[in-house]
Amino acid sequence: MPTALRSAVAAVPAVAAPAGETLPVRARGALRLITCGSVDDGKSTLIGRLLHEAQGILDDQLATVTRDSRRFGTTGEDVDFALLLDGLEAEREQGITIDVAYRFFSTGRRAFVVADTPGHAQYTRNMATGASTSDLAVLLVDARKGLLEQTRRHAAIVSLLGIRHVVLAINKMDLVGWSQLRFAELVAGFRDFAAPLGFRVVTPIPLSARFGDNVVRPSANAPWFDGPTLLDHLETIPIADETEADLRFPVQWVSRPNADFRGAAGTVASGRIAVGDPLVVAASGRTTRVARIVTMDGDRDVASAGDAVTLTFTDEIDIGRGDVLVPPRARPTVTRRFAADLVWMTDEEIEAGHNYRLKIGTATVAATITRIADRLDLASLDRVPADRLALNAIGRVHVETAVPVAIDPYAENRSTGAFILIDRATHATAAAGLVAGPLGAARDVHVHAGAVQPSLRAFVKAQRPLAVWLTGLPGSGKSTIADLVERRLVALGHHTMLLDGDNVRQGLNVDLGFDAASRAENVRRVGEVAKLMTDAGLIVLVSLVSPFRADRDKVAALFGPDRFLEVFVDASPETCRLRDPKGLYAKADAGRIVNFTGRDQPYEPPLAPGLVLPTDEIAPEIAAERLVQAILDRVRPQPTSALDGAQL
């Protein structure tokens, strides 16, 4: 995808060429533009008129629109050019735009890809989709109504999405008598409002989309206007070249049609790449060089932004879907925590603590909104404090992902700077997000790929690494079982480490309390330590209450299903109270311990644990033996061929 949000909002339809014309695979040098604004400002009519005047409509299309104008049109006896864009039956019946309509046309000077987007507030997500693909925005304003809230919202979204060239199209000037005073008033009002938005060029044009004034030809109705027509401006405005940005190549999938070929397939999101160029896998830090650039039409020496290719490498490197290949000296930030601006797209308000699936490029990972910092006031463009975001709101949030992701600030690179949030229950797109930057000092910290890979460490230890996460209420028997299991595994010659919750709080996590936020951080730190230990080739046993399901899910995402086993040590609260091996329940009842799981705080049992040990019913020794067998089934040594090029 040429931009990250374009890829993330995966519902962007293919650009449709007019009948009888062939749309190139990728229109190099084409100007991508969006028309936006409030309801009934004339967006579809303007594009339809532009297509007609630029001879981008075939005779049969014009005949169809002329016929439909009598049934659905809103322009009396005149042809309703909006119907060229309003392709859905509901759109024609209601006279509104719902979906994003794309049209391709060209003149002798330039090719164009035009996105007509809806003006209604409930379809703001569609407008953001169209804007994410665009280099220029034509923002329409009804000369009678002036600047409306939706006009301001669209202007703010256009700015957030990095569009720096705006045409302020003051439409329906015929309905205000082509008043130069009204035109000047609206232009001044927009310039005052938009000053903080950072637009590079704002070009105001008075026009009448219905009658074609100043669309393609200068209008005799506005002798006081000496600026360009809309088409003149669109044909001459300079556009950015995506090949000038740093290389970003998100891996779509690993192609291995036979034993003799292995390559990384995907689309060059930005920049260019040539045979022999050095590359690094952003997340792992592994380096290599490009051996071949393979396409359906044969090998190439160079590929640029928008090209779909398969890359092969001079070295065997571990790579998969979601990885991003980049130049060694122009790397993105790889982090789990970053700030972003969200355009919220669902009726359900967002609050801190909500969990989603985050899709950025070709990677999809679990993510949590940890903080809502502010909300953009559309009237003043000030950022105001907020603790939630409602439908169509724009706000700054902090995001934490379960595993590190490669990001760039959106202002620097669209391809790795935009993402979407997906509702985990409905799979609907909840928000479009634009990366502001990493939190903390992560930006200039990059992964160092050591000479000894985890697969080699595991091979030397003759076992597969595994994190075994024992969770359950205090007193359920986690520590007892973990001790028995470790003794048995060591006796069998395995390399292990036990991380007990109480022991970890004596050192690494001595600074943490027992409120929900501190518990989440406790789990996060232990998970990171366990991950490092599995990279060392160890079998790591973690005995930790870890009461919240979302925290455990984040930890599980660090490892992947083959290296993580969640074990639910299941004992009833009554049984745990009777055991009370450390006297904690009694202290909690006496008020000497607060935020105690099972009393003051809830415990969320796993929904699909890898193993359940019902310690109400079985002795610790039996539970331990069941767990040992489950571990042994997973940690048998991997074959030498699985080392994938690891070297001593």
- The predicted-structure confidence for 533-569, as pLDDT tens digits, reads as follows 999 999 999 999 999 998 898 899 888 778 999 999 9
Residue carrying structure tokens 């992964």: 447
Domain 454-640 falls under CATH 3.40.50.300: yes
Query: Residue 296 contacts by C-beta under 8 Å, 6 or more apart in sequence?
Result: none
Residue carrying structure tokens 């009678």: 144
Contact 429, 8 (CB under 8 A): no
CB atoms within 10 A of CB 505: 16
User: If 0-12 CB within 10 Å is exposed, 13-18 middle and 19+ buried, where does residue 89 land?
Assistant: exposed
Cite the annotated binding site for ATP by residue number. 472-479
The mean pLDDT of 113-119, rounded to a whole number, is 73
Which of the four pLDDT bands, split at 50, 70 and 90, describes residue 3?
Answer: very low
Of these ranges, 377-386, 575-584, 606-615, the one predicted with the greatest mean pLDDT is 606-615
| Residue of 208, 546, 572, 641 marked catalytic | 546
Provide the residue type at 237 as one letter: I
According to DSSP, the residues that pair with 293 across neighbouring strands are: 300, 311
Question: Looking at the predicted structure, is the pLDDT value of residue 17 above 90?
Answer: no
Sign of CA dihedral 456, 460, 462, 466: negative
Which of the four pLDDT bands, split at 50, 70 and 90, describes residue 153?
Answer: confident
Predicted local distance difference test score (pLDDT) of residue 443: 60
Q: What's the pTM value of the predicted model, to 2 decimals?
A: 0.70
Predicted local distance difference test score (pLDDT) of residue 78: 58
Sign of CA dihedral 243, 14, 42, 121: negative
Question: Looking at the predicted structure, is the pLDDT value of residue 92 above 70?
Answer: no
Residue 208 bears catalytic tag: no
Question: Six-digit token pair at 432?
Answer: 């479009």
| Closest listed residue to residue 129, CA positions, set 420, 406, 402 | 420
Residue carrying structure tokens 């920049």: 271
Predicted local distance difference test score (pLDDT) of residue 101: 66
Please state, in angstroms and rounded to a whole number, the distance separating the CA atoms of residues 118 and 116. Answer: 7
What is the third-level CATH fold of 243-326?
Elongation Factor Tu (Ef-tu); domain 3 (2.40.30)
Ranges in the chain annotated CATH 2.40.30.10 = 243-326, 335-438
Ranges in the chain annotated CATH 3.40.50.300 = 4-236, 454-640
Question: Looking at the predicted structure, is the pLDDT value of residue 623 above 90?
Answer: yes
Which of the four pLDDT bands, split at 50, 70 and 90, describes residue 504?
Answer: very high
Question: Six-digit token pair at 587?
Answer: 């202290």
| Residues above pLDDT 70, as percent of the chain | 83
Predicted local distance difference test score (pLDDT) of residue 580: 86
Secondary-structure class of domain 335-438 per CATH: mainly beta
* pLDDT tens column, 154-202: 898 888 888 889 999 999 999 999 999 999 999 999 999 999 888 988 9
Question: Looking at the predicted structure, is the pLDDT value of residue 208 above 90?
Answer: yes
Residue carrying structure tokens 């556009």: 239
Runs of H (alpha helix) within 492-608: 501-504, 516-535, 549-559, 573-579, 584-589
Contact 36, 127 (CB under 8 A): yes
Cite the annotated binding site by residue number. 37-44, 116-120, 171-174, 472-479
| Closest listed residue to residue 82, CA positions, set 129, 43, 139 | 43
The mean pLDDT of 134-153, rounded to a whole number, is 90
The CATH number of 4-236 is 3.40.50.300
| Residues above pLDDT 90, as percent of the chain | 49
